Amino acid sequence: MTKKLALLLFIGLLNLTGLVSQNDVIEAPVYIGLFYHDPIIGIPNKPSNNYLKLATRRNVGIFKNISTTWLDFEINSNLKKGGNNTFGVILYDDKEGDFIKRNRFYLKYIRHQKINQKLTLASQVTFGGYIFSIKSNNITGSIGEPAIDGNVGLGMYTKLSTIGISVNQFPNSTVQPVNQTILLKRHFNVYASQRFNLLDSLYIISRGNIYLIKNSENEFKNFVSISASINYKILGAGITYNHITGNYFSLSINKLKTKGTASINVELAYFAPNNKSFAKNTNTIELALGYNFANKFNK
């Protein structure tokens, strides 16, 4: 009974929050607090070793059945004629309670082209699919509705700086799992980062992200996030501020050597919501685990 009630409340909540018009729901991927770990944003960054990243965003306590988990895998080719290619796979799982799930899967391609000795232009395309599924229950049978989905991005980077823009969910696909149509609304991300070297092995990384999407009233809604971390050798500590939701406090281990040039990255963050957007603390944590393989591409 509790689970059925939760499903009904979820559908009702979509209407109350203004995300649902009479028949349509506007949907976008969950906004990740540590946005620089989110591969769906689709802004290409400088290549490194081939790598595998597994990350999750989840709640502890009464909201523990709400979680998002993703996997990002990249292979970088050797440098040829002033550029190189990156190929990858993204898997994304979003769980909303006991009944509702959203799955995304993409193939990724990035082209890095050197403009000069300091500046590189990079373009990225991710294309794949989306599935909205409802687990069988006493209200409805098992439902799974697929759609095509994709993201494109363009960026420029130097050794210490990155800037880029992306168009996300560009096909503007729709699914209709029950009575309402879900629109995978096209939206935009702007991203920038800068590294400041202070002393030997001591540096600061600042990052910014602007997320733009039109709501059901055709008005732009935005999230602005600013992040800063201070790092010494393999250890780091940071804070990410979002002007709508609150702050993320993080600790990290960066490039912990394992064998040869292979290394491990770990970042753990705790979300402290503001009182305006959240009546209760969701006890949200985000964890990113990365492994950089030893076969480094040739610069």
- pLDDT, one tens digit per residue, over 30-45 is 889 999 999 988 888 7
pLDDT of residue 250: 98
Range scoring the smallest mean pLDDT among 14-23, 90-99, 171-180, 282-291: 14-23
Average pLDDT of 263-282? 86
Mean pLDDT of the chain: 86
Two tokens, residue 134:
């409802």
- Model confidence at 63, pLDDT cuts 50, 70, 90, reads confident
CB-based contact 203:188 (threshold 8 Å): no
Whether residue 117 is predicted with pLDDT greater than 80 in this model: the reply is yes
pLDDT of residue 119: 93
Alpha carbons 157 and 154: distance in angstroms, whole number: 10
DSSP calls for 2-51: HHHHHHHHHHHHHHHTT-B-SSEEEE-PPPPSSGGG-GGG-------S-E
Pick the CATH number of 2-292 from 3.30.2320, 2.40.160, 2.30.30, 3.30.200: 2.40.160
Two tokens, residue 230:
């201070």
Alpha carbons 127 and 168: distance in angstroms, whole number: 10
Whether residue 286 is predicted with pLDDT greater than 50 in this model: the reply is yes
pLDDT of residue 135: 83
Domain boundaries, the chain: 2-292
Two tokens, residue 32:
């990740």
Average pLDDT of 211-223? 84
Range scoring the smallest mean pLDDT among 10-24, 52-66, 138-152, 161-175: 10-24
Average pLDDT of 144-155? 94
Two tokens, residue 119:
């500046």
Whether residue 55 is predicted with pLDDT greater than 60 in this model: the reply is yes
Average pLDDT of 193-213? 95
Q: Residue 290: what are its φ and ψ, rounded to 5°?
A: -130, 145
pLDDT of residue 17: 36
- Percentages helix, strand, coil for the chain (3-state, rounded to 5) are 5, 60, 35
pLDDT of residue 62: 80
pLDDT of residue 1: 41
